[in-house]
Amino acid sequence: MALTSEQTVVRGSKTAGAPQEPNTTLRQKKRFNSRTALTLLAFMAPAAIFVGIFTYYPMISGSQMAFRNWNLNDLSDTSWVGWGNFVKLFETPEFGTIVRNTIVWVVGSLVPQVVIGFALALFLKRHFKFRGAYQAFIFFPWAVSGFLIGMLFRWMFNAEFGVVNDLLMKAGIIHSPIPWLAEPGFAMTAIIIANIWYGVTFFAIMILAALQSVSDEMYEAAAIDGAGKVRTFFNITLPSIAVTLGLTILLRIIWIFNFPDIIWAMTGGGPADQTHIITTYMIKITQEGDYGQASALGLIVVFTLMLFAAFYLMAVRPRKEKR
Amino acid sequence: MINKETVFGRTSKIIFLGICLIVTIFPLYWIVVTSLKAPGTIYSLPLDYWPKELSFENYIGLFTKSDFGVYMLNSLLVATVAATVATLISLLSAYVLARFQFSGRGWVMAAFLLTQMIPGFIALGPLYMMMTNFNLVDSKTGLILVYIAICIPFCTIMLRGFFENVPDALEEAAMIDGCSRLSALFRVLVPVMMPGIAASFIFNFVNCWNELFLSVTLMNSDENKTIPTALAGFISSFNIDWGSMSAAAVLTVVPTLVIFAFASKFIVQGLTAGAVKG
C-alpha cells in the first residue's frame, strides 16, 4: 500500500502513464523555475521543520545514547561504551522470554485478525439493509485508545468480579474462576484476545476495500466457466487482492510489534515480567532511567523490522511481477 | 457472486455478523453498565448485567473529587489546536508530494514512512531533555508542538492519496486565471477535497485525544494534565477504583465515538485510498 504506491507511481509513469507523460514533463520543465521551486520549498518547510525537530532530532540523538552509559539516575559518567548496552541486554535473564512473547504476541494477534477480518469482509461485500450502520458499529474499537482498551479488558478479565469468568461459568465451560491476569499463560491469552478484538475491524475494512476493487466481470467469467464458490475464492478473489493483503499485513506486523499500550494497561508486563514484549520492556527501562539500554533496544527493534520488511517485500514482489 | 444466496448461506451470514457485532459492542456495554452502578455494588456477586438502580455517583465523583473537567478541557484544547495545525501543514506538504516530480521526493516519503516504523520510545528520553531546554515541559504549548509533529507524516500520506484523485486541470485553470498557487490550493482544491480533509482532521484529533506516552512523560501538574494522563494515574495506584475508571472511560470514548459514527465513511475512504491503488 503506502509503501509501494511510490514505486507504482514511478513505474506507472514509465509505462501506463506514457500518453500523458510528455505533456507533464513539458509543463513542469517550463514552469519548474526558481519561483516554483521556492514555492515548493516553502510548502514543504513547515512539515520538514516540525518532523525534523520533534521526531528526527530526538530519534537520532536517542540512537547515539545506545552506545553510551546514559542513566538518568547518574549522569556524571556518560562515556562511550560501544556495544556494552547491547551485551547487557542480551545477558538479561528475561531477554529470551521477551523475544518469545513478542513473537507470540504478533503471530497470535495477527492470524485471527486476518482470518476473522477476511470473513467479515466477505460477508460485508454484498450490499444488505443497514450495512452502513453495521459498519459504523463495527468501527467502534478504532475510536478507543489502546490504553483504554487495555483497561476495559483488564476489568472484564478480573478474576473475582470480571464478566468473562462469569459468562464462562454460566455457560458451564469452567467451574471455578480463572485467575486470568495472575498466570503468565492466561495473561498472554487475555492480552492477545484484547488485541484481536481491536484489530479485526482494521483488516475487515482494508480487505473489503480491496475486494470492492475487483471487477465483477472476473466473477461473471468464473461463473460462466462453472467455477464453484471455493474455486472462485482461491483462483480469483485471493490472487486479485494478494498485493494489497500482503502489504496490509506487513504494515500491521510492524504496528503490532510497536504497540505496547494494551499490554501496558492490562498487565504492565507482569506477573513477574512474564508478559513483557520488547516495547513494553523498553518502557520499563526508560522509566527506570536507563536511556542507554532503552535506546539500544530501540535500535534492535528498528533493524529487526527493517530486515523483516526487506525480506517480506522480496517474498511478496515476484508474484506481483508475474501477473 | 451472481448465484443467489442459499438459505444456509444467509443464515450463517446473519449468525456470523451477529456474533461479531455483539463481541464488538459488549466491552462498551459493560463499561457503561459498570459506570452506572453505585460504587459499592460493583464488587458484589452475582454480577448484575444491568444496574439494580442507576447511580451517577461515579460521574459526580469524577468532577467533584478530581479535576476531570479540567483534564477534558485540556484534551479538547490540545487535540483541536494540534489537529488543525497538523492538517494545514500536511495539506501543503501533501500537495507538493502529489503534484510534483522532483529528485528527493522518494526520500521525503521514506522519511515520513520511517517515522511510522520506529518505536517512539527511542525518542522519548532525548525529547524530554530537549523540551526541558526549551522550557516546554509541563506546558500545553509544548505538547501541542509535539503532537503536530507526530500527526504530520501519516496525515501527509493520507492527504496525498486524496490529492491524486483530483485532476491537475482544476488548479491549472485557476492559476491561468491569475490565482497564486496558494490561493488556487485553498480556493479550488480544498473545497473539492473537503471530505478527505475532514477525515484527516478527525484522524489527527482522535490520535491526539488518545495519545498516552508522550503526555505522561511531558505533563505532570494537575492544571495541565490531559485525559490519558489522568487515566494512567488510575493504574499507578495499587487499588484501581473501577467505578470512577469506568465513568472516566465512558466520558473519554463517547466524544470520539460520536465523531467516528458521523465520519466513518470518510475515514474509511481516506485510509483505504492509498492502499487499494497500490
Report whether A138 contacts B21 (CB < 8 A): yes
Nearest CA in chain B to A5: B278
CA B128 to chain centroid: 23
Nearest CA in chain B to A136: B261
On chain A, the residues whose CB falls within 8 A of the CB of B106 are: 6, 10
CA dist A55 and A57 (Å) reads 6
Report whether B165 contacts B274 (CB < 8 A): no
Contact with chain A for residue B264, Cβ under 8 A: yes
Calculate the alpha carbon distances from B256 to A187, B148, B264 in Å: 29, 19, 11
Torsion of CA B253, B254, B256, B257, to 10 degrees: 100
Across the interface, which of A48, A139, A248 has its CB nearest the CB of B275? A248
Name the residue with higher pLDDT: B180 or A20. B180
Give the helix/strand (H/E) hosting B80: helix B68-99
Q: pLDDT band for position B54 (50/70/90)?
A: confident
B200 HSE (CA, 13 A, CB side): 31
Output the nine-digit C-alpha cell for B270. Answer: 481516506
Report whether B87 contacts B201 (CB < 8 A): yes
Contact call for B17 and A46, based on CB within 8 A: no
Contact call for A261 and B145, based on CB within 8 A: no
Q: What is the pLDDT of residues B130-167, one digit of tens each?
A: 999 999 999 999 999 999 999 999 899 888 888 887 88
Contact call for A43 and B96, based on CB within 8 A: yes
Contact with chain B for residue A89, Cβ under 8 A: no
Determine the pLDDT at residue A9. 34
Task: Report the residue of B16, B26, B28, B118 to disrupt the A interface, i.e. the one with the largest count of A CBs within 10 Å.
Answer: B118
Q: pLDDT band for position B39 (50/70/90)?
A: confident
Report whether B35 contacts B249 (CB < 8 A): yes
CA dist A229 and B45 (Å) reads 49
CA dist B225 and B93 (Å) reads 31
Nearest CA in chain A to B241: A155
3-state SS class at A178: coil
If phi > 0 it is left, if psi is from -120 to 50 it is alpha, else beta; for residue A270 that is: beta
**DSSP characters over A197-257:** HHHHHHHHHHHHHHHHTS-HHHHHHHHHTT--HHHHIIIIIHHHHHHHHHHHHHHHHHHHH
Determine the pLDDT at residue B212. 87
On chain A, the residues whose CB falls within 8 A of the CB of B24 are: 137-138, 140-141, 197, 201
Contact with chain A for residue B70, Cβ under 8 A: no
Residue length, chain A?
Answer: 323
Calculate the alpha carbon distances from B68 to A63, A83, B96 in Å: 37, 46, 42
CA A279 to chain centroid: 13
Report whether A207 contacts A241 (CB < 8 A): yes
Contact call for A123 and B259, based on CB within 8 A: no
**Mean of pLDDT values over B43-51:** 80
Nearest to B266 by CA among B197, B204, B195, B201: B195
Q: Could you tell me which residues are beta bridge partners of residue A71?
A: A74, A290
Across the interface, which of B27, B47, B209 has its CB nearest the CB of A161? B47
Name the residue with higher pLDDT: B114 or A123. A123
CA A140 to chain centroid: 18
Report whether B59 contacts B35 (CB < 8 A): yes
Residue with cell string 513477574:
A272
Determine how many CB atoms are found less than 10 A away from the CB of residue A269: 22
Residue with cell string 454484498:
A126
Q: Which residues of B31-40 are buried (b: 16+ CB within 10 A; e: fewer)?
A: bbbbbbbbee
- Give, as one character, the DSSP assignment of residue A52: I
Q: What is the pLDDT of residues B60-99, one digit of tens each?
A: 988 888 888 999 999 999 999 999 999 999 999 999 998 8
A38-52, A190-204, B40-54, B214-228, range with the lowest pLDDT = B40-54
Name the residue with higher pLDDT: B1 or B124. B124
A163–chain B nearest CA distance, Å: 8
CA dist B253 and B245 (Å) reads 12
Nearest to A278 by CA among A290, A292, A295: A295
Determine the pLDDT at residue B237. 65
Determine the pLDDT at residue A302. 86
Burial class (CB in 10 A: 0-12, 13-18, 19+), B160: buried
Nearest to B111 by CA among B97, B91, B99, B101: B97
Determine the pLDDT at residue B272. 65
Q: What percent of chain B has pLDDT over 90?
A: 31
Give the amino acid at B76: L
φ and ψ of A68, to 5 deg: -120, 160
Going residue by residue through chain A, which has 323 residues, state the pLDDT in tens, using 9 for 90 and above: 333 333 333 333 333 333 444 444 444 444 567 878 888 889 999 999 999 999 999 988 888 888 988 887 777 777 888 888 899 889 888 899 999 999 999 999 999 999 999 999 988 888 888 888 888 888 888 888 889 999 999 999 988 888 898 899 888 888 888 888 889 899 999 999 999 999 998 888 888 888 887 778 888 888 888 888 888 888 888 888 887 788 888 888 988 998 888 999 999 887 888 999 998 998 888 888 888 888 899 888 888 888 888 888 887 765 544 44
Report pTM: 0.84
Contact with chain A for residue B107, Cβ under 8 A: no
Burial class (CB in 10 A: 0-12, 13-18, 19+), A32: middle
Contact call for A244 and B150, based on CB within 8 A: no
Determine the pLDDT at residue A32. 61
Give the amino acid at A16: A
Determine the pLDDT at residue B141. 94
Across the interface, which of B109, B264, B278 has its CB nearest the CB of A135? B264
